[in-house]
């Protein structure tokens, strides 16, 4: 089993440290900054072996080079981003398998937010490190990809086991909930989750990880088939991807 430590940085980013105690191997996912990671490594007396980047944006790769310089770790990232992510040692893409101790980590391509976006799925741990593809009650903006690409990417995530824990890279849940309720106001599961979110944030606690089951019940971007959402959008017969595209457009201007 992996020990997973969530490190809040910047305004609303999360970095994740993954440690396998049997092998004493450690990886970090999307280090926006190096120093908070170095502090915890020192406290735990862990040695950093790998950086796993999901995509090229600065608030996910900003700590790469300093961490590599200080620890000698290897940087793993998408083959699409070989010229956009600093310090890459191993380029990966869909179907590649990584190991951290006994944990097998599957690489899944999820273009949409960026064209080179990938996610890391730890099947034994039931943990998905999904960067900016999926958020609790939201999904990433389409900075480079198309609605069709993003919807295809989200369908890959939606097909994972319901118990999968979703470790996304930002604390956006409270704002996402406001939008979700605007397009799905009668969703009982969403209303209950919104109460939990308010309680957690009032105590300055993280809403992450969420679970895939929770997101499938509450996240409008995973639910374009919903008759209730389609009624609100006046899109009763449209394709799922068209409903998704409309939701994403609405969220951009919410």
Q: Is 57 a catalytic residue?
A: yes
List the strands of the sheet with 25-29, edge to edge: 2-9, 13-20, 25-29, 50-52, 74-78, 88-92
DSSP labels, 109-134:
E--SSSTT-EEEEETTTTEEEEETTE
Q: Is 12 a catalytic residue?
A: no
Q: Is 170 a catalytic residue?
A: yes
Strands 25-29 and 13-20: antiparallel
Q: Is 55 a catalytic residue?
A: yes
Q: Is 56 a catalytic residue?
A: no
Give me the catalytic one of 55, 56, 117, 184: 55
Give me the catalytic one of 19, 56, 117, 170: 170
Give me the catalytic one of 57, 81, 117, 184: 57
| Cis peptide, bond prior to residue 209, ω within 30 of zero | yes
Give me the catalytic one of 30, 81, 132, 184: 132
Distance from C-alpha of 99 to C-alpha of 101, rounded to nearest angstrom: 6
CA distances from 149 to 37, 193, 222 (A): 33, 28, 14
Residue 68 near residue 92 (C-beta atoms within 8 A): no
Distance from C-alpha of 121 to C-alpha of 139, rounded to nearest angstrom: 17
Q: Is 89 a catalytic residue?
A: no
Give me the catalytic one of 19, 56, 113, 117: 113
Give me the catalytic one of 59, 81, 117, 184: 59
Give me the catalytic one of 60, 81, 117, 184: 60
Q: Is 253 a catalytic residue?
A: no
Burial class (CB in 10 A: 0-12, 13-18, 19+), 39: exposed
Active site residues: 55, 57, 59-60, 113, 132, 170
């Amino acid at each position: 089993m992996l020990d997973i430590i969530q490190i809040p940085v910047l305004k609303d980013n999360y970095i994740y440290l993954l440690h396998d105690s049997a092998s004493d191997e450690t990886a970090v996912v999307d280090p926006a900054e190096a120093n908070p990671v170095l502090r915890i490594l020192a406290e735990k007396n862990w040695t950093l072996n790998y950086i796993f980047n999901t995509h090229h944006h600065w608030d996910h790769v900003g700590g790469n080079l300093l961490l590599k310089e200080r620890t000698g770790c290897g940087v793993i990232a998408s083959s699409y981003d070989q010229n956009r992510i600093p310090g890459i040692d191993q380029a990966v893409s869909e179907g590649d398998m990584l190991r951290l101790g006994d944990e097998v980590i599957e690489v899944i391509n999820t273009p949409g937010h960026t064209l080179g976006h990938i996610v890391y799925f730890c099947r034994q741990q039931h943990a998905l490190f999904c960067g900016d593809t999926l958020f609790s009650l939201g999904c990433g903006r389409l900075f480079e990809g198309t609605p069709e690409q993003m919807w295809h990417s989200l369908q890959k995530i939606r097909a994972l086991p319901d118990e999968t824990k979703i470790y996304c890279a930002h604390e956006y849940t409270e704002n996402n909930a406001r939008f979700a309720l605007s397009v799905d106001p009668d969703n009982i599961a969403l209303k209950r989750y919104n109460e939990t979110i308010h309680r957690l944030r009032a105590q300055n606690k993280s809403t992450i990880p969420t679970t895939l089951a929770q997101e499938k019940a509450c996240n409008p971007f995973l639910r374009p088939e919903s008759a209730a959402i389609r009624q609100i959008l006046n899109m009763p017969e449209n394709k799922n991807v068209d409903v998704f595209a409309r939701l994403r457009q609405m969220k951009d201007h919410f």
